[in-house]
């Protein structure tokens, strides 16, 4: 059998497997990938993952099909043979097309990823001067909430509601939120899983992350940075609720924590802790 015949067989097998598996990956597997569709940013991440998987599937199949075919077609059939097999020669045409196709894919993904980042902020912390601000945040002032990490819990301060600091996080539905993530002691990482938000919490730093909520949702909050002996217990449950319910909740929190609010230091986007205050 000639090299051209082997090549045609490989291409046919690759096409068949790609036509079958790529739609399954894109339409069945990818939509259920984390972090889900709890926010605009989370949905964007699912879309990005879908594009990545959709492009990676045919590429991976090309490698696997070629490998499997080579193992079958070019195996040593003489079990008594002791000599080396025939010399393997490169194929300049195949190598050239491989370089062209993979280069185009990589450049496309670089552009695609940059556009997606600039579109909605992608849910990651961007430091005190974000380069990617959601369009909704430009059109209307977003709701500001400060996420304060400390060993070993998160608390939340609301500058637009008298600077009250709450023990738990509730957000109104269909709202753009500007999170100012910081720390009181060591390096932490705020990870609101179902919202698609993850931002480092560093002492003395203001790390801004945007999220645009959708409908009512329960989401998990974890610290994603090893921060001491009780790091594994630094988690909480947050809620996205209807706007009237949020208004009622924040009003209750202001009354409940009024005595503590009076004794808090003035609201600041960063804090500089005493390094001897805590251990761990």
Instruction: Look up the pTM and report it.
Output: 0.80
Residue of 210, 185, 186 whose CA lies nearest to 199: 210
**What's the pLDDT at 273?**
65
Distances 8 to 17, 68, 69 between C-alpha atoms, Å: 14, 15, 12
Residue ranges with strand state E in the chain: 143-150, 153-158, 164-166, 170-172, 176-183, 188-192, 197-201, 207-212, 217-223, 235-241
Bridge partners (DSSP) listed for residue 149 = 154, 183
Rounded average pLDDT per 10-residue block, the chain, 280 residues: 77 92 92 87 88 91 91 73 64 85 91 80 78 79 94 93 94 94 92 92 92 93 92 93 96 93 85 59
- List the structure tokens of 21: 């598996």
**What's the pLDDT at 133?**
82
d(CA 104, CA 106): 6
**For 222, phi and psi rounded to 5 degrees?**
-135, 155
Pairing type for strands 143-150 and 176-183 reads parallel
Question: CB burial class (10 A; 0-12, 13-18, 19+) of residue 274?
Answer: exposed
**For 65, phi and psi rounded to 5 degrees?**
-65, -45
Question: CB burial class (10 A; 0-12, 13-18, 19+) of residue 244?
Answer: exposed
């Amino acid at each position: 059998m000639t090299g051209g015949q082997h090549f045609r067989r490989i291409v046919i097998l690759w096409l068949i497997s790609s036509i079958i598996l790529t739609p399954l990956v894109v339409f069945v597997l990818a939509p259920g990938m984390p972090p889900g569709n709890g926010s605009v940013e989370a949905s964007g991440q699912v879309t990005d993952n879908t594009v990545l998987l959709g492009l990676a599937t045919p590429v991976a199949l090309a490698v696997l099909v070629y490998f499997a075919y080579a193992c079958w077609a070019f195996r040593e059939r003489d079990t008594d043979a002791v000599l080396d097999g025939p010399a393997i020669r490169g194929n300049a045409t195949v190598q050239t097309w491989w370089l062209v196709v993979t280069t185009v894919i990589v450049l496309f993904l670089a552009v695609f990823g940059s556009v997606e980042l600039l579109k909605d902020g992608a849910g990651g912390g961007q430091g005190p001067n974000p380069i990617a601000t959601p369009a909704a945040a430009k059109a209307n002032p977003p709701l500001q909430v400060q996420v304060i990490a400390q060993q070993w819990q998160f608390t939340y301060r609301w500058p637009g509601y008298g600077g009250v600091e709450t023990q738990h996080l509730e957000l109104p539905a269909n709202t753009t939120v500007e999170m100012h993530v910081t720390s009181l002691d060591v390096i932490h990482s705020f990870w609101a899983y179902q919202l698609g938000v993850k931002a480092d919490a560093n002492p003395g730093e203001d790390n801004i992350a945007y999220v645009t909520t959708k409908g009512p949702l329960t989401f998990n909050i974890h610290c994603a940075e090893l921060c001491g002996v009780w790091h594994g217990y630094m988690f909480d449950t947050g809620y996205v609720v209807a706007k009237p319910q949020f208004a009622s909740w924040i009003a209750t929190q202001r009354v409940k924590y009024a005595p503590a609010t009076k004794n808090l230091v003035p609201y600041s986007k960063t804090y500089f802790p005493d390094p001897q205050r805590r251990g761990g």
